[in-house]
Amino acid sequence: MKTPLLEVRSLTTQFFTEDGVVRAVEDVNFEIHPGEILSLVGESGCGKSVTGLSLLRLIPIPPGKIMSGELLFEGRDLLGLEEREMERVRGNDISMIFQEPMTSLNPVFTIGNQIMEALQLHQNLDKKEARRRAIEMLDRVKIPSPEVRIDSYPHQLSGGMRQRAMIAMALSCQPKLLIADEPTTALDVTIQAQVLRLLKEIQGEMGMAVMLITHDLGVVSEIADRVAVMYAGRIVESGPIEAIFGEMRHPYTRGLLESIPQLEEKKKRLNAIPGQVPNPMDLPTGCKFHPRCHLMIDDCKKEEPPLYPVNKNHFSRCIRWKECC
Amino acid sequence: MTSFLLRRILQMFITLIGISIISWLIITTAPGGPISLTMDPKISPKIIEQMMKNYDLDKPVYQQYFLWIKKLFTGRLYSFKDGRPVLEKIWERIGNTLLLNLVAMTIIFSLAIPLGVFSARKQYSMMDRLTTFGVFLGLSIPGFWLAYLIILGTVELFGYPVLGMRSFVTEGFGAGEIVMDRIWHLLLPAMIMAIHGLAGLSRYTRSSMLEVIRQDYIRTAKAKGVPEETVYYKHGLRNALLPIVTLFGFLIPGLIGGSIIMESVFAWPGIGRLAYQAVLARDYPVVMTINTITAVLVLLGNFIADLLYGVADPRIRYQ
Ligand SMILES: Nc1ncnc2c1ncn2[C@@H]1O[C@H](COP(=O)(O)OP(=O)(O)O)[C@@H](O)[C@H]1O
Ligand SMILES: [Mg+2]
């Protein structure tokens, strides 16, 4: 097997708020290989964004803190880097795009300006060369007449165009890894599909790895190679996309899959998972999913289950994985 | 853009008329009148009647208002007190007031913004707490009280005069000394005038900055690898300053109000002191004209602030 591009080992991130400690990410392990698309899925609040932000060390400190773990990027632990060195990783080796294209671009600078900033920072390009490259990137993300659009301010673009500009900015320095945090969630459905297709296409051309964060399994099924399902700050199941969609081994994954609206079955009620996402300040004992689980037995309340290997690249954190699902 | 400008100018004109009518009503209905205040009680009723006539005081209030406008624009408006043309009296002094206000404004902006930015960057640090304390002190101390205290203090300590625009005795002063003397006389009142604005504006800058650094685009800039300092001063400050541009317009009325008090306390020969004296003497033409000029300055300040805002924020469209 190839050596992974990024290896995340027992990442634990917490927030120390006035109301108590938020255990947002707890002992998370995964790896991303060069050129693959790993999707991190789970309901809102399960710690996906915090995981993504932790990788770039962009957690607001305080209140947040990365309590422990290793982030081995090409063998080098990002958590051990000086802030200056980390700045050279951000936007250059690892980039990130965010959910809200409306608020994620600086309103007072042109998009060209914002794309050129990264190029000038990391690639030592002069202004003219950076501008040429920025136009090239805008063309690449299929923004029409890029040599004109480059001088637009974010408010002059539609949501979809802004997200394309964000992608152009993130990819301008040809990073090896792109963290895309719900890149299509805030967009109209038709635009969502376009942006997703674009992302997949560019990923194919440029060959970078992508960590795609989403709560939408529909999005995952379109483009991911591998899936990690998160619940209450933990990865509860991970495996290749066929395994997750075909033979899931965790009742939570099953619940998520059943809650995807199917066009043909419009009349059938959406099978939402019963109960609520647990409060990360006051998590249940044992398996964090047991209060909502139809397979729950007494043992589920006692100890947190480990990740059981279903086979060599498929894992489930359920003691009854054999009976599920 | 042109239609925006025309509309704004028309609006300002209407506002100005409104302001002048209201000031006129307030001034003429205030107790006391120009004659009773200045005149010897033994004077004959006939002379009083003649004076009332000269000053148009025998006419109804609304007619007096129109007469005032007419005289103002034909340059035949005279002070009740000394009979000199009002515009001439104001013209002599308005430069002094503008100078004082300009210096105060410069002090406010050049200190408040760095102070606010610094406080926000080091939120809850010792320095931040100290500036917060200083700000509330500055906001709660009455300006005139502080002015008297400082006048007393400096005269006691240095034995150097502070009133007026310059020392009375300047014989034997070199050119350098004369300049220093002028600056000294200018800076003290300007600094005291600036205290309130400085306190308010630095607070405002601080909260604006704190608000901005929580925004998504700040996180985007960090994710791009922009160094911390640049994120703060380029991406943050530029956005935090947007609302502050508009404050420029709001500061003017406060400063002019302050200059009435400070000019009186420091015997500064400006229109603030002139206005104060004119109010005491019920010198209607002078009071009204200064009021109107002040209103024009305030409206212009707001207008300029609006235009600046449009320059600073690409999202603003004038239509
Ligand atoms: N800055 C913060 N301060 C306190 N709690 C936070 C902060 N950011 C995230 N959290 C908490 O961490 C948990 C995980 O959040 P997040 O990763 O954003 O969820 P999602 O999976 O929807 O992206 C949530 O309970 C959230 O409230
Ligand atoms: Mg999120």
Contacts of A163 in chain B (CB under 8 A): none
Q: What is the pLDDT of residues B124-159, one digit of tens each?
A: 888 889 988 988 998 898 888 998 998 888 888 887
Q: How far apart are CA B291 and CA B284, in angstroms?
A: 10
Confidence band of A297 (pLDDT split at 50, 70, 90)? confident
Interface test with chain B among A73, A102, A106, by most B beta carbons within 10 Å: A106
Q: With a cut of 80, say whether residue B70 has pLDDT above it.
A: yes
Please tell me the number of Cα atoms within 13 Å of B73 on its side-chain side: 5
The shortest CB-CB distance from B219 to any of A58, A91, A92 is to A58
Q: How far apart are CA B105 and CA B90, in angstroms?
A: 21
> A108 vs B313: CB contact, 8 Å cut-off?
yes
Query: Mean pLDDT score of chain A, rounded to an integer?
Result: 90
| Pick from B211, B190, B197, B309: nearest CA to B252 | B197
Contacts of B222 in chain A (CB under 8 A): 58, 90
Q: With a cut of 90, say whether residue A189 has pLDDT above it.
A: no
Percent of chain B past pLDDT 90, that is, above it, reads 31
Do B284 and B106 touch, CB atoms closer than 8 A? no
Q: Which residues surround ligand 2, an ion (CB under 5 A)?
A: A 49
Cβ of residue A24 lying under 6 Å from some atom of ligand 1? yes
Region A203-232 average pLDDT: 90
Q: With a cut of 90, say whether residue A10 has pLDDT above it.
A: yes
B238 and chain A in contact, CB less than 8 A: yes
Atom index in ligand 1 nearest the CA of residue A25 equals 14
Q: What is the pLDDT of residue A263?
A: 58
Region B76-101 average pLDDT: 89
> A103 vs B215: CB contact, 8 Å cut-off?
yes
Distances (CA, A) of B143 to A15, A26, B158, B274, B294: 46, 57, 22, 19, 20
Number of C-beta neighbours around residue A307 at 10 A? 17
Q: What is the pLDDT of residues A92-106, one digit of tens each?
A: 999 999 988 889 999
Query: Mean pLDDT score of chain B, rounded to an integer?
Result: 87
Contacts of B312 in chain A (CB under 8 A): 108
Region A11-17 average pLDDT: 95
Cα distance from B236 to chain A (closest Cα, Å)?
9
Q: What is the pLDDT of residue B202?
A: 92
Contacts of A117 in chain B (CB under 8 A): 221, 224, 226
Q: How far apart are CA B255 and CA A110, in angstroms?
A: 37
Q: With a cut of 70, say whether residue A207 has pLDDT above it.
A: yes
Do A283 and A216 touch, CB atoms closer than 8 A? no
**Helix (H) / strand (E) containing B52:** helix B45-54
Q: Which amino acid is at B286?
A: V
Q: Where are the alpha helices (DSSP H) in chain A?
A: 48-55, 83-89, 111-123, 127-140, 146-149, 159-171, 189-206, 217-223, 241-246, 251-258, 299-302
Q: What is the pLDDT of residue B158?
A: 81
Using CA atoms of B192, B194, B101, B87 in order, give the dihedral in degrees to the nearest 10. Answer: -60
Q: Find the A102 Cα to ligand 2 centroid distance in Å.
A: 16
Atom index in ligand 1 nearest the CA of residue A46 equals 21
Which residues have CB under 8 Å from B228's CB, separation 6+?
A83, A87, B222
Q: How far apart are CA B219 and CA B226, in angstroms?
A: 10
Which ligand sits closest to the CA of A47?
1
**Helix (H) / strand (E) containing A15:** strand A6-17
Give the position of tokens 């009455």.
Answer: B142
Structure tokens at B191: 């600094």
B50 compared with A243, residue with greater pLDDT: A243
Q: How far apart are CA A166 and CA A289, in angstroms?
A: 36
B301 compared with A7, residue with greater pLDDT: A7
Do A279 and A295 touch, CB atoms closer than 8 A? no
Q: How far apart are CA A224 and CA B162, in angstroms?
A: 77
Q: What is the pLDDT of residue A132?
A: 95
Q: What is the pLDDT of residue A296?
A: 84
Q: Which residues face B120 on adjacent strands?
A: none
Confidence band of B37 (pLDDT split at 50, 70, 90)? low
pTM value is: 0.81
Region A149-165 average pLDDT: 93
Q: Find the A64 Cα to ligand 1 centroid distance in Å.
A: 10
- The lowest-confidence range among B40-49, B63-72, B181-190 is B40-49
Q: How far apart are CA A307 and CA A285, in angstroms?
A: 16
Q: How far apart are CA B195 and CA B193, in angstroms?
A: 6
Residue A145 region by backbone torsions, left for phi larger than 0, else alpha for psi between -120 and 50, else beta: left
Q: What is the pLDDT of residue A231?
A: 94
| Chain B residue with Cα closest to A100 | B216
Q: What is the pLDDT of residue B38?
A: 56
CA A68 to chain centre: 20
A120 and chain B in contact, CB less than 8 A: no
Do A105 and A50 touch, CB atoms closer than 8 A? no
Q: Find the A141 Cα to ligand 2 centroid distance in Å.
A: 24
Cβ of residue A23 lying under 6 Å from some atom of ligand 1? no
